[in-house]
Amino acid sequence: MADTESSSSEPKATFVFLGTIKKVKAATMRSVPVDDRTAVVRVDQVIEAPANLAHFAGTDVTVRLAGRAKSAVGRQFVFHAVGWIFGDSIAVRALKQETVTGAHSAVLARGGNPADHRANRELQERVDEADLVVSGKVVTVKLPEGTEPLTRAPGGSVPIASRPVSEHDPKWREAVVAVDDVHKGGHAAQSVTVVFPASTDVRWFKAPKFEVGQQGFFVLHKSEIEPAERPKARSAVAGKAKAAKDKGTPVYTALHPQDFQPYTQQPRVSNAIGAAPGAAGGKEK
């Protein structure tokens, strides 16, 4: 049974590791606020992690424990955590900690690179949630219909608007992808249009930026653009979404780093597609 702390807005764990509690009501850095839920934990094995934390095995870190159950020195858990405070050491916040059981044996024995395991899990989740997965080539990148005439950034291949925009404007663009094959979902047309943010603002810089000639796998989701993130009502993307809804055709987005994979990643994508529900795919007749 895991001690959990969760909410609908809780982020997903980015640092998963096997660890042993060394001290309670303690921390590895002075800047960390210490209370009953703060502990110094030795990282025994890194299971999944971003690249900068993938080699933390054998290191002491601070963990703000999930739930309210008391944890004693010497207890070992699998921690599912997110970053919290970084300095001379690191402090993470556990979303949950699980008592080690036989169910963890396969994960703990698989070896390999923790950063790769994290990326593969994220890709699997994106494919599982996708409405459409296709392979193909970007043949056009353009501003949505109805927006002002476009120019191009110096030395760039992605169209940009000539009018000044706000700091966090996503700068929506449309990439037309010539479809070679459909791997999940049904799609009859020979192409599909993907709406994506061309902005490099902190809110959008991790989203794929498509350019003419890009080839690979496109993991697409029916409009994940939240109302607060859409341009104003006069914008072409909002208009396109409404028009598409009226016509019964979806607006597809690719907003997560894993939503585009070049053909060099075919083994990873094939594994994710093979394990995804509804992955038979095929073009509708």
What domains can you pick out in the chain, each with its CATH number?
A: 3-111 (2.40.50.120), 122-275 (2.40.50.120)
In the predicted structure, residue 240 carries a pLDDT above the cut 60:
no
Q: What is the per-residue pLDDT for 271?
A: 92
Q: Each residue of 214-224: pLDDT tens digit?
A: 999 999 999 75
Higher pLDDT, 241 or 167: 167
Encoded tokens for 94? 């556990």
Rounded to an integer, what distance in angstroms lies between the CA atom of residue 132 and that of residue 124?
A: 14
Q: What is the mean pLDDT of the chain?
A: 83
Alpha carbons within 13 A on the beta-carbon side of 220 = 31
Q: What is the per-residue pLDDT for 276?
A: 72
In the predicted structure, residue 248 carries a pLDDT above the cut 60:
no
Task: Give yes or no for a contact between 232 and 238, defined as CB atoms under 8 angstroms apart.
Answer: yes
Whether this prediction's pTM lies above 0.85 is answered by no
Alpha carbons within 13 A on the beta-carbon side of 273 = 26
Q: What is the per-residue pLDDT for 203?
A: 87
Helices and strands per DSSP (H, E), number in the chain? 4, 14
215-222 and 172-184 beta bridge pairing: unpaired
Q: Each residue of 115-148: pLDDT tens digit?
A: 999 999 999 999 999 999 999 999 999 998 755 4
Encoded tokens for 5? 């702390």
Higher pLDDT, 79 or 186: 79
CB atoms within 10 A of CB 5: 16
191-197 and 252-253 beta bridge pairing: parallel
